[in-house]
Chains A and B, each alone.
Chain A
């Protein structure tokens, strides 16, 4: 059967609004009487707030209120409640919000904010994850054992910086090491980095006389915002309304809730009037959450013939000054710790620890970019130790249906996909067989690196989604879902799914771009590459519901049995004679008999979805099912290194994912290329730089460097399509996966080119030089 909308390069619904400047993002909406909040942030990474003098600020023109941590004391967090929206008594990272000035204009608020004088008494700092583990480490949180747990499965250790620990115990390690004739070990470091969504986070809030709290925010989680505002401000859930228009990039960074608390507090302080709080770029980098840091140790054992026998993984995950989703990511990393390889004997200890750095949250890949780097660098070391080709070693060990994951999920083709095919395809794309290290002349070396990946959703076990499909009287459809459009054309993809189900032109499916929690049906969050799957399933259900209604009504109108009818091209027709039909437009709002009597009414289909059979990880052995399926893939990079100064060019970067089914090839390719672009940035230049006092140094886009045009390699993308039995049209999530192993592939290539072991990112020329010098010495 030929498809109508699936597998087609449908141009995103809001495309023309975006190229004409008419697409509106949160801060583009003018609101008369809008007031502005400006944050004052900490200049100290760890210290007691000794005094705060805002007398001068209070006298400044236009100032309406100044809030500090005492204004509405509360502790927040999605896993463990450890974070005050405004610091109280002490600060735990450079950039932490300490006060909020509300004034008539942004300029007035900013002028007053600069007049606030704060004195800190410096405390010793925790500068990296491993330092946080030491017995003598200063405590970032003194009362870690007294915080409220939002989910039961989080295990903070009193009098330590360890907020969570996850263990994976699978198989028999003794047996594994005994069978290992060759072992390799490596230590790896991945620093913090930033999402750099081009739209900085911003929220405006107002409290109406009715008590309704209206929030407008650049958020990936409108329903999460609603829930927490309701909870923390003691207002009925339904009285909180969260609106999210188009979002200017998220990558996980707009899933946590930070600005929203502040904006509601600000509005409260000025009698409910609307207040906008918008991060400057510097605040978006230093005050709002970032990417976690990781110190990892990986030890792999294999038999002579290159079959993995044992894997031991230690992950120390730096979540910064507050836990946010750090514990969840730690679990996610541990439960997938091997990468897509078959290993019967697995031991993993993953710790989530506090440091005095900007706190961490979800970042495209949910921790997978970091641990995958460690695993894939270790695989290259093992290949070298065994004298095996890196692609060959991987191929010998790829995980297959029938094997189990580290958290002991039994894998099926539907759950796992086909990573072997991905590797085969990427090997050809990058032309591996022509040689993975070629000397071009005395100075220039071309080298290639490869890496494999897998990722599942790691969502809560009760995450739900829903969809409403309402027909217009002309037979077209309005689709309303709770997923946010943050960039990857989610809404257009959902329209394609609906159009295919209804067998109609996708242009006749109108999608509401904005989310309003009072109008839109529920969706957990627009994260984890899960929207197409979860909301897609709900859309399929809603389509089925609508079709049933349409066919029953048409059966009456056409005086036949529903079984005799079929739907397509906005007509309901007789299966055995399509020339006898009724237009959808004539039944979408009820069928009108020739005399005027009408039966039926507006067709409204509804659909819901919850992921079945997910379970949390067992505390002792990590057993549990973290997601409904995996998306696996393989990536490769080719570089050209100049030995004269260790500069390098990234020539080509390739990704093959098992997408299950590609719904919109051009959009999907773009999303994967975008992921690679971000990952190559992390591999080659991006990282937070802290000084001795743990003050973040690179808080602007001048000092925090991202990839720019002309620096990109040639990108190659291809697909494998092993359907996931539960997903709409078999489609697996692909939103994050382009980033996951690409910096591992990059650094595998650079290590090969430079013939040194590069075990950290970003790899800047100086690092290569340093390692070469160490090697010589």
Chain B
């Protein structure tokens, strides 16, 4: 089993690259991504699992990176918003004006991307259940709903 005491160097697989990071056992994945790897797309909004601004994909699933320890992510595939390359959901957010200040956007987009990967044909109920873990204070959610629905395969398309 992987063990870490004090501060130690871990290897994280992020956006297809192996990166080294010096962390304490108590450091969160959010901390390691932002402070050690310079990947500041994931944002702290509550560091308590309530807002979703820190969402990244771990083995394809959306995870609140403030609730996962950096050491727990060792050996798993991490994808951050910086690792998305012109994904349709990014364009949809731009086209639908699905953000204003943009602070929640990385987290929303990663959660959406997870949903698109896992349930590409998600119903409204499933979509809402997934995206309810994120907060946006600027928009009305109507724009975000339009953006995700334009990318999901709905019955009408």
Contact = CB atoms under 8 A, between A and B. Distances in A.
Interface of A: 9, 11-12, 14-25, 27-28, 30, 107, 195-200, 246-251, 278, 280-281, 486-489, 666-667, 670-671, 673-674, 676-678, 700-702, 706-712, 714-715
A709 B98 CA distance: 12
Contacts of B103: 25, 197-199, 248-249
Interface string B91-109: 1011101011111111001
B132 A708 contact: yes
A195 B137 CA distance: 9
Nearest to A29: B40
Task: Give 5 closest A-B pairs by Cβ, nearest first.
Answer: A21-B41, A248-B103, A18-B102, A487-B101, A710-B128
B132 A198 contact: no
Interface in B21-51: 24, 26-27, 34-35, 38-48, 50-51
A390 B99 CA distance: 35
B140 interface: yes
A248 B135 contact: no
A195 B102 CA distance: 16
Main secondary structure of the interface of A (DSSP, over half): loop
B43 A709 contact: no
A29 to B, nearest CB: 8
Contacts of A701: 45-46, 48, 50-51, 135
Given A281-B45, A489-B100, A709-B145, A673 B140 contact: yes
B4 interface: no
B140 A710 contact: no
Interface string B129-140: 001101111111
How many chain B residues sit at the interface, stated as a range, is 35 or more
Contact of B35 (A12, A30, A249, A666): A30
B77 interface: no
B65 interface: no
B143 A670 contact: yes
24 contacts: A11-B95, A17-B102, A19-B99, A20-B81, A20-B84, A21-B106, A22-B82, A107-B24, A197-B103, A198-B137, A249-B101, A280-B47, A487-B100, A673-B140, A674-B100, A674-B139, A678-B137, A701-B46, A708-B132, A710-B124, A712-B140, A712-B145, A714-B142, A715-B140
B139 to A, nearest CB: 5
Contacts of B142: 673, 712, 714-715
Nearest to B39: A21
A127 B102 CA distance: 37
A23 B47 CA distance: 20
A709 B45 CA distance: 17
Given A30-B38, A670-B139, A709-B134, A700 B100 contact: no
Contact of A197 (B27, B81, B90, B137): B137
B78 to A, nearest CB: 13
Contact of B100 (A16, A21, A27, A671): A671
A709 B144 contact: yes
Contacts of A27: 44
Interface in B44-66: 44-48, 50-51, 53
A489 B100 CA distance: 7
B137 A196 contact: yes
A14 B101 CA distance: 10
Interface in B106-157: 106, 109, 124, 128, 131-132, 134-145
A486 B135 contact: no
